[in-house]
Amino acid sequence: MENVFELNNVFKTYKNDGKEFTALKDISLTIKEGEIFGIIGMSGAGKSTLVRTLNRLEEVTSGSVNFYGKDLASLKPKELREVRHSISMIFQGFNLVNQRTVIQNVEQSMKIIGIPRVQRREKARQMLGIVGLLEKENEYPARLSGGQKQRVAIARALAADPKVLLCDEATSALDPKITGEILDLLKKINEERKLTIVIITHEMSVVEKICDRVAIIDDGNLAEIGEVKEVFSNPSSKAAKKLVYPSNPFDPSDENGKIVRVVFDGTQSNVPFIANLVEKTGLKVNILSANTKSVGGVGYGQMIVELPPAENDRKTVIDFFREGGLIVSEVNEYE
């Protein structure tokens, strides 16, 4: 797949009242054509600054951001406008014009670039059909739900025939059910239109549901990058562990207790490996936390378990799990 974006050693430093703040620190990554790429981090981590470098709404202090091989910093104003027409954005706040109808909102981007009214009206209806809101074309945004408003924003973004769709916390204002519907819609659009989608979020559940790869941003640094399934199964950075480990605390029965995380996918979900462990080894573990989730369309489960006190018994348990195809990693201090 061709690289849509290639970032090389990107730094972004802000200066205010003689003070400097570096929001991005030596970021290098690529985003490939046709993939859904997640950028995740906590509030203030730098992820929104990063996404704004992708269409040069933010100028980088050093390094380069390339779009299909062109360095954005080298583009003349007309060339930059053409690139921006290829990159649409949707936001948490929807950014609809309340005084215009749904179809007029969808037409907005086409009107700006001078597409005749008849053509843009036809195109707008096509886009509303894609997002399932054709019957709402004459409604005003105030009469729509949050999910419907975001569908209108998606239709408006698609009307410009972009090569890339940037989604900046696009589901943060929506409830879980509507979030799931919007993510399903984005996945469908990605598959049917081969549209490259970049999702910026602070919620790992969003990334796990539809993203192919993910970059984890922590205090302006690229903490980790990789396929979502790999990052979920075997996170290597402290920032990734905070995002993928269960949120409830892990409290061993005593201060010398050893805790591990056990991960299994859907092919192993019908195997009673805890019962098998007891039957075959006579050893027991204390389950501190457990949950299941869909990661990239595949069901995954994870458990946090406390191992037996004896070192030999701990090794026996870990070996038993790994021989059964499970991923086992020690839970150490990552806070």
Per-residue pLDDT of 173-199, as tens digits, reads 788 888 888 899 999 999 998 999 999
pLDDT at residue number 278: 92
The answer to whether residue 269 scores a pLDDT higher than 70 is no
The answer to whether residue 267 scores a pLDDT higher than 80 is no
Say yes or no: 210 and 322 in one domain.
no
Say yes or no: 278 and 147 in one domain.
no
Boundary-marking domain end, from 239, 270, 305: 239
Say yes or no: 287 and 156 in one domain.
no
pLDDT at residue number 131: 92
Q: How far is the C-alpha of 211 from the C-alpha of 198, rounded, in Å?
A: 9
Given a contact cutoff of 8 angstroms between Cβ atoms, the answer to whether 49 and 27 are in contact is no
Which residues neighbour 323 within 8 Å (Cβ) at sequence distance 6 or greater?
none
Please give the average per-residue pLDDT across 112-125, as a whole number.
88
Confidence class for position 335, pLDDT limits 50, 70, 90: very low
Partnered with residue 15 across adjacent β-strands are: 20
Domain of residue 286 covers 245-330
Q: Could you tell me if residue 292 is inside a domain? A: yes
Given a contact cutoff of 8 angstroms between Cβ atoms, the answer to whether 233 and 246 are in contact is no
- Read off the pTM: 0.88
Per-residue pLDDT of 318-334, as tens digits, reads 999 999 889 998 887 54
Where does residue 60 rank: exposed (0-12), middle (13-18), buried (19+ CB within 10 A)?
buried
Please give the average per-residue pLDDT across 156-166, as a whole number.
91
Total structural domains within the chain: 2
Q: Which two tokens stand for residue 111?
A: 């009107």
Boundary-marking domain end, from 220, 239, 258: 239
Say yes or no: 283 and 230 in one domain.
no
Say yes or no: 157 and 64 in one domain.
yes
What's at 312, amino acid-wise? N
What's at 36, amino acid-wise? I
- For residue 281, the number of C-alpha atoms closer than 13 Å in the C-beta half-sphere is 20
Least confident of 169-173, 237-241, 317-321: 169-173
Q: How far is the C-alpha of 48 from the C-alpha of 82, rounded, in Å?
A: 22
Q: How far is the C-alpha of 54 from the C-alpha of 166, rounded, in Å?
A: 9
Neighbours of 251 (CB within 10 A): 10
Provide the 8-state DSSP code for 274: H
The end-to-end CA distance of the chain, in Å, is 37
Partnered with residue 13 across adjacent β-strands are: 22
Say yes or no: 90 and 233 in one domain.
yes
Query: What CATH number should be reported for the domain holding residue 22?
Result: 3.40.50.300
Say yes or no: 29 and 139 in one domain.
yes
Per-residue pLDDT of 192-235, as tens digits, reads 989 999 999 988 888 998 999 999 999 999 999 999 999 998 89
pLDDT at residue number 91: 83
Q: What proportion of the chain, given as a percentage, has pLDDT over 70?
A: 97
Strands 298-306 and 286-295: antiparallel
Q: Helices (DSSP H) in the chain: which residue ranges?
A: 47-53, 77-85, 102-112, 117-130, 146-159, 176-193, 204-210, 228-233, 238-244, 273-281, 311-323
Say yes or no: 62 and 105 in one domain.
yes
Q: Could you tell me if residue 335 is inside a domain? A: no
pLDDT at residue number 79: 92
Please give the average per-residue pLDDT across 94-105, as a whole number.
91
Where does residue 173 rank: exposed (0-12), middle (13-18), buried (19+ CB within 10 A)?
middle
The answer to whether residue 247 scores a pLDDT higher than 80 is no
Say yes or no: 279 and 219 in one domain.
no
Q: Could you tell me if residue 69 is inside a domain? A: yes
Partnered with residue 24 across adjacent β-strands are: 12
Please give the average per-residue pLDDT across 47-58, as a whole number.
92
Tell me the pLDDT of the chain averaged across its residues. 89
The answer to whether residue 132 scores a pLDDT higher than 80 is yes
Say yes or no: 207 and 306 in one domain.
no
Which of 66, 60, 52 is closest to 4 using CA atoms? 66
Boundary-marking domain end, from 212, 239, 266: 239
Give the full edge-to-edge strand order of the sheet including 286-295. 286-295, 298-306, 259-265, 327-330
The answer to whether residue 249 scores a pLDDT higher than 90 is no
